[in-house]
Each structure stands twice: as structure tokens, then as C-alpha cells.
Amino acid sequence: EDQVTQSPEALRLQEGESSSLNCSYTVSGLRGLFWYRQDPGKGPEFLFTLYSAGEEKEKERLKATLTKKESFLHITAPKPEDSATYLCAVTFRDDKIIFGKGTRLHILP
Amino acid sequence: KAGVTQTPRYLIKTRGQQVTLSCSPISGHRSVSWYQQTPGQGLQFLFEYFSETQRNKGNFPGRFSGRQFSNSRSEMNVSTLELGDSALYLCASSLALGGYTFGSGTRLTVV
């Protein structure tokens, strides 16, 4: 069954405490993996697209990496404004798309 | 540059009624997709339109339908509303695969 699983479901970190969020997938014919950030009451905001294993993308304190079975979103020295839900999505054969259920990240000052 | 605009922001409907939600994409974006977001199921893909043609469809019953107009604006319709249809409905537009820009959504409550 085609599936996207994100872990952990929720994560509380102290400001400055680096960590990683995981997105694992079981789909055939991967076309792309996407990371989004969603703040309460708003739509998801696009962060990164990754297309092939070994690819990495960076933006400020965030770095996304991709392997053949999973992706990691590394957060370095996070700040309270990084608190949000982070969503992973995968597009695969026939342009189908599946979203993970997200990781709720809370950064404590 | 204006973002993706969804109207209305909030809606309360009664079971059995129908509802139409509207989405105006970013100027120049020809692809519009719709999603349902609930706490239990997360974000689920409804359908995608490109140049007025439905290009892809998720696993939702036929009560959920949509269309796209020549100016790329899109509407989705839900007929015979059920309590379980209460959700945040999100629209997204894009130029290329995956680089979607989302609107703020329409919060639908069915009572």
C-alpha cells in the first residue's frame, strides 16, 4: 500500500536544541518529495522539493535530505518562530500525491 | 503578487445541503488542486485541474466534484453534506509539479 509516515507526531525542543524530523515512504515510481510548513489557521507553506536520493536542500536553519526510503528535515539551532506543523508529501506514478500527517514542532524559549 | 484566494473563509451548513467553495489561483498558474484536511486523516488530495480539465482525482465519493474556468479560477462542490465532511478545504495552485502555493482554506462545519 502506498504510504507516507512522519515521525515523531509531536516534538518539543528548547531554543537552540537541534533535531531531525523523519518522513518515510513506500510508493512506487517516486517523482518528488516535498516539505511544507503549516501555521495554525493557515495553509501549508512550501519549503523544499527533493527529486532523487542523495539530494539536499537548505534554507536558513532547515536542511532537507532524501534517501531511497525516507527524508529528513534537520533543524539547526531552532528559534520559537520555527514552531509549526511540518508536512511531508510525495508525488509518484500517475502524478498521485500523498501527504503525511505531519510533525507538530514546538520550540520553547 | 496576490496569493491563492479562497472564499468563503468560514461556512456552516446543515446535513443534506450542498456547498460550493471558490478558489482564485496565483495569476499565471494553470494548475489548481483541492485538498481536505481533518485532524484524524490529515491532508487528503481531492482533485487537480489543469486548463479546465480534471487531471487527477483522489479517493473521494462522487458527492465531491469540481471544475475550472477559462481564467483558471476553480470551484469545488459537495452535495448531500454529511457530518464527516466538516473539515478545512484547501486549494493550491502551481506552475510546476509539486511547487504548490496554498490558500488559507475554507473551514466548513456541517451541523
- A32 and chain B: CB distance < 8 Å anywhere? yes
Per-residue pLDDT of chain A (109 residues; tens, 9 = 90+): 889 999 999 999 999 999 999 999 999 889 999 999 999 989 999 999 999 999 999 999 999 999 999 999 999 999 999 999 999 999 988 788 899 999 999 999 9
- In whole angstroms, what is the distance from residue B40 CA to residue B43 CA? 9
Confirm if A75 and A103 have CB atoms less than 8 A apart: no
Strand partners, A32: A91
Residue with grid cell 484547501, as numbered in its chain: B90
Q: List the grid coordinates of A34.
A: 516535498
Q: Which of residues 23-42 of B touch A (CB under 8 A)?
A: 33, 35, 41-42
**Counts for chain A of helices (H) and strands (E), in that order:** 0, 11
Look at A43 and B92 and tell me if their CB atoms are within 8 Å.
yes
Query: Is A1 an 8 Å CB contact of chain B?
Result: no
Any residues with CB less than 8 A from the CB of A1 and at least 6 apart, and which? Answer: A26
B5: phi > 0 → left, psi -120 to 50 → alpha, else beta; which?
beta
Largest CA distance in chain A: 44
Report pLDDT digits (tens) over B18-65: 999 999 999 999 999 999 999 989 999 999 999 999 999 999 999 999
User: Mind telling me how many Å the CA of B98 is from chain A's nearest CA?
Assistant: 7
Of A108, A109, A96, A105, the closest CA to residue A36 belongs to A105
